[in-house]
Amino acid sequence: MTTVQSKVLIIGGGPAGYTAALYLARAGRNPILVTGPEPGGQLTWTTDVENYPGFQDPIQGPWLMEQMERQARNYGAMMKEDTIVSVDFSGSPFLCQGENASYQSNAVIIATGASAKWLGLQEEAIFRGYGLSSCAVCDGRLFQGKEVAVIGGGNSAAEEALHLAHHASRVTLIHRRDQMRAEKILQERLFNHPKIRFIWNHVVTEIIGTAHPKAITGLRLQETETKTSQVLPVQGVFVAIGHLPNTELFKRWLERDNDGYLLGVPDSSATSRPGIFIAGDVKDKRYRQAVTAAGQGCMAALDAERYLELS
Ligand code: NAP
């Protein structure tokens, strides 16, 4: 297996990784970016993007990712379609083992993102991007005046429901228990909102829709104890049952919080391990936007550049 050497390796092909690659390429560091199994990251599952600054009209998520990738490549970043399967951060050069090659570098930027958790229904693969979403801020406006459902009982579900209530005619929050785990202040806002209603103790067993055009028309729900089922007519479904940061690879080497997000030095992209930097959703459970991930990618590139300069 070939060994690829570089000053800096970027792991993850999403907004954070591509932005880091752009900055480091322009700094003359010839970065290598390993895309991972889903080049483009979560944005490849979004259709209309209306909140990435600089575009008057809606743009497509996959198109935006392609542009970022090309821009970084045009300035000299090298893209590798590979997936890192293990890392050794015991000392510099750091070693990252991919499926196709081994990588050695003096600095590493981790931008492996987070993956939304899904319900595990087979219809999810059909309707993702066609009425099914995990990001109300990204896709909520597409449901102006329509009826939508949010699945989940945590802070994410509460925030998604409140955001969607700005657009949708009605939001139904479906939870598998009769109590939410979301913060009390969020729960109060939900309970007092005239457009939000609740279906407790129910799980989704089927997403119902049409094939041509691909669109959701309803959800089949099942009561958790009696097992009785009902169909809820909705045009939009937002699954908010949590995200999993893609950090398993790094747990031996870097600190993580209770939810698995990587912990870094405050107000910086640095970690407790000099030369290892983090950016984007892999460390950020709060904002989780393409633009914030891109900003953090920029920060990590500037921090890595400074580190390389001084080492
Ligand atoms: P979470 O707190 O883990 O909540 C997930 C919710 O989804 C739970 O209510 C859970 O039900 C439900 N759920 C999980 N798997 C399910 C399944 N297969 N089917 C149906 N329901 C399922 O996740 P989160 O809301 O994304 O929050 C993750 C972390 O980020 C938390 O620490 C949260 O506080 C933080 N966060 C913070 C903010 C903020 O500070 N503004 C915003 C968003 C998230 P049960 O309750 O029955 O387990």
47 token code pair: 């259709």
Whether 134 is in the pocket of ligand 1, judged by its Cβ within 6 Å, is: no
Distance 159 CA to ligand 1 centre (A): 11
Among residues 304, 257, 265, the alpha carbon closest in space to that of 285 is found at: 257
195 token code pair: 């457009």
Q: What pLDDT is stored for residue 46 in this prediction?
A: 65
Asked whether residue 18 carries a pLDDT value surpassing 70, the answer given is yes
| Buried-exposed string 179-196: b where 16+ CB fall within 10 A, e elsewhere | ebebeeebbebbeeeebb
Whether 287 is in the pocket of ligand 1, judged by its Cβ within 6 Å, is: no
Q: What pLDDT is stored for residue 61 in this prediction?
A: 87
- Mean pLDDT throughout 288-304? 96
Asked whether residue 310 carries a pLDDT value surpassing 70, the answer given is yes
Asked whether residue 216 carries a pLDDT value surpassing 90, the answer given is yes
- Cβ neighbour number for residue 255 with a 10 Å cutoff: 13
Q: What does the alpha-carbon distance between residue 142 and residue 160 come to, in Å, rounded to a whole number?
A: 14
- Tell me which of 38 and 186 has the higher pLDDT: 186
Distance 37 CA to ligand 1 centre (A): 25
Asked whether residue 276 carries a pLDDT value surpassing 90, the answer given is yes
Model confidence at 73, in pLDDT bands (50, 70, 90)? very high
- Tell me which of 184 and 137 has the higher pLDDT: 184
- The 10s digit of each residue's pLDDT in 237-257 is 999 998 899 999 999 999 999
Among 117, 181, 205, name the best residue to mutate to test ligand 1's pocket (greatest count of ligand atoms within 8 A of Cβ).
181
Among residues 16, 231, 217, 60, the alpha carbon closest in space to that of 131 is found at: 217
Whether 242 is in the pocket of ligand 1, judged by its Cβ within 6 Å, is: yes
Residues 6+ positions from 188 with CB-CB distance below 8 Å = none
Q: What pLDDT is stored for residue 45 in this prediction?
A: 66
Q: What pLDDT is stored for residue 96 in this prediction?
A: 98
Q: What pLDDT is stored for residue 137 in this prediction?
A: 85
Percent of the chain predicted with pLDDT > 70:
99
Whether 159 is in the pocket of ligand 1, judged by its Cβ within 6 Å, is: yes
Among 135, 176, 222, name the best residue to mutate to test ligand 1's pocket (greatest count of ligand atoms within 8 A of Cβ).
176
27-31, 117-121, 148-152, 155-159: range with lowest mean pLDDT: 155-159
- Mean pLDDT throughout 251-268? 96
Distance 282 CA to ligand 1 centre (A): 17
Whether 177 is in the pocket of ligand 1, judged by its Cβ within 6 Å, is: yes
Sign of CA dihedral 6, 9, 13, 15: negative
Distance 206 CA to ligand 1 centre (A): 21
Average pLDDT, the chain: 95
For the CA of 243, the nearest atom of ligand 1: 26
- Mean pLDDT throughout 167-171? 98
100 token code pair: 């196709």
Q: Catalytic positions, please? A: 135, 138-139
The torsion of the CA quartet 108, 117, 139, 230, rounded to 10 degrees, works out to 180
- Tell me which of 311 and 54 has the higher pLDDT: 54
- The 10s digit of each residue's pLDDT in 24-61 is 999 999 999 999 988 888 787 666 788 899 999 989 88
Percent of the chain predicted with pLDDT > 90:
89
